[in-house]
Structure 1
Amino acid sequence: MDQTRRRPNVRGQGDRLRDEIVTAAVRMLDELADDEALSLRAVARAVHIAATSVYLHFPDRDALVLAAMQRCHEDLVRAGDEASAAEKGPGARLRARILAGARWAEEHPGLYKVLHESTVHRRLGMPFKEVMVQRTVDDVRACMDAGVAPADDPTTVAIDLRTAVNGMLSQRINEPDLPWPPAEEQLDRFLTKLVGLPAPRRRRRH
């Protein structure tokens, strides 16, 4: 008998097993950077359970990928919220949120690819991502209300900003050998050109 097989959860601990399955899927997706390469059997092996046990919580691979991506998105939102809360002033808070998202993408490039480029995303969409969109809209609106950015439609500006940031991060992940400028400087240019925030002062390079 396989000594590594996981002991069954006691009655009422189904949510705990579901959490372990999602955790394993997140870890594997970060390594694979491709949802099509993920199999429910492989996830089951990682958790030391029978493949049929995965189906008790997720009807198919797409459902598991969506659950994993929702957890990643919640983690990304939380990182942005914490970074934003540590700053004073709407411009600094917006910048902190954008930079936190960029750091998360650099630390989890595989997950970022799946979150934005996966086949599941194309087939089913990921409606939970609206939370991040709304956070960005609210931050941009706060900048406009405070007069640190010119008045405009905050939703349009926020979508333009997210398009630029997400495109930049995806290209950095997919084409790492290009002569990229520092990410922080590129993001600051987006904030200046698209939102209208003042350009930060930087030391000249020697």
Structure 2
Amino acid sequence: MKSHSPDPATPAAGAGRARNRRGEGVLLRDEIVAAAERLLEREGTEEALTLRSVAREAGISAPSIYTHFADRDAILDAVLDIAFERLLRLVTQSTEGVSDPVERLLAGCHAYVRFGMQDPARYRVLFGRQRAGRPGAGSPVDMSDLPEVWRRRLDAFMVLVSGVRACVEAGRSASTDPFADASTLWTSLHGAVTMRQFVPGFPLPPLERTVDDLVHRIALIQS
């Protein structure tokens, strides 16, 4: 009986994922990031992300990750970029077509807290990680001093600054420093999200009412 040699185009059993063809490197990189996002969403913590777990989720060998990412933190940075882009898109989409500046500011703030409540794992990665090189308490920082990557990631915050400034220009806010008041508002919104995530069952007021109160008080909204 004539024997048949294996088809060279068919990977042997147990050989793992086939090598990407020329031009498919970007696709593999996207697969790695998507695998990390799925793990983060499923496990709810960034500790679940290891090179081995991401490789297993993506169906590739762990060493092949190094072609695209230097280490686990590089994968997390890619996940961060996507999450910040998603946050910016949600905030900007929520304000489209809203002509009243106060209502526009409220819409953006509500979108922010919805993101935090509906996507808690990604939210914790965005704002819960301890990062090296941050300024000490009380040290003023100019946005231009931040690395370019962080200026881009904070575009959603700049939408908040613009929202407070628009209220001032329309005579609807008594703020004399929209940047500082937007910073305080962001901090307070973050606290509202974090309290509900980490202190479940505490008798806090409804989140929508909390957001409305924070915006009116901190942005010094005038009726």
Report the TM-score range of the alignment, normalised by the length of the smaller protein.
0.7 to 0.9
1:148 is aligned, of 152, 155, 172, to 172
In the alignment, which residue of structure 2 is the partner of 1:202? Answer: none
In the alignment, which residue of structure 1 is the partner of 2:107? Answer: 96
Gaps of 5+ in 2: 1-12, 135-148
1:161 is aligned, of 175, 185, 192, to 185
In the alignment, which residue of structure 1 is the partner of 2:49? Answer: 38
8 A Cα contact 1:29 1:110, kept in partner: yes
RMSD: 1.9
Percent sequence identity is 35
8 A Cα contact 1:26 1:69, kept in partner: no
Count of residues in Structure 1 that have an aligned counterpart in Structure 2: 196
**Which of the two has higher C-alpha Rg?**
2
State the secondary structure of the residue aligned to 1:103. helix
* Worse overlay, 58-67 or 8-17: 8-17
In the alignment, which residue of structure 1 is the partner of 2:217? Answer: 193
CA distance in 2, matches of 1:30, 1:140: 33
CA distance in 1, matches of 2:201, 2:32: 35
Q: Is 1:173 aligned with 2:184?
A: no
8 A Cα contact 2:90 2:111, kept in partner: yes
Q: Is 1:19 aligned with 2:43?
A: no
CA distance in 2, matches of 1:96, 1:7: 47
5 Å matches for 1:44-59?
44-59=55-70
The structure with the greater share of residues assigned to helix is 1
State the secondary structure of the residue aligned to 2:132. helix
> How far has the Cα of 1:103 moved from its partner?
1.1
State the secondary structure of the residue aligned to 1:123. coil
8 A Cα contact 2:175 2:181, kept in partner: no
> How far has the Cα of 1:86 moved from its partner?
3.4
> How far has the Cα of 1:80 moved from its partner?
0.6
* Worse overlay, 43-52 or 129-138: 129-138
In the alignment, which residue of structure 2 is the partner of 1:139? Answer: 163
Note the alpha carbon deviations across 1:101-127, whole angstroms, 9 max, x for none: 1111111111111111124xx236771
Q: Aligned pair in 2 of structure 1 residues 100, 148: CA closer, same or farther (>3 Å)?
A: same
AA aligned opposite 1:123: A
TM-score calculated relative to the size of structure 1 = 0.88
State the secondary structure of the residue aligned to 1:6. coil
TM-score calculated relative to the size of structure 2 = 0.81
AA aligned opposite 1:174: F
> How far has the Cα of 1:93 moved from its partner?
1.1
CA distance in 1, matches of 2:86, 2:194: 18
AA aligned opposite 1:41: R
In the alignment, which residue of structure 1 is the partner of 2:91? Answer: 80
In the alignment, which residue of structure 2 is the partner of 1:8? Answer: 19
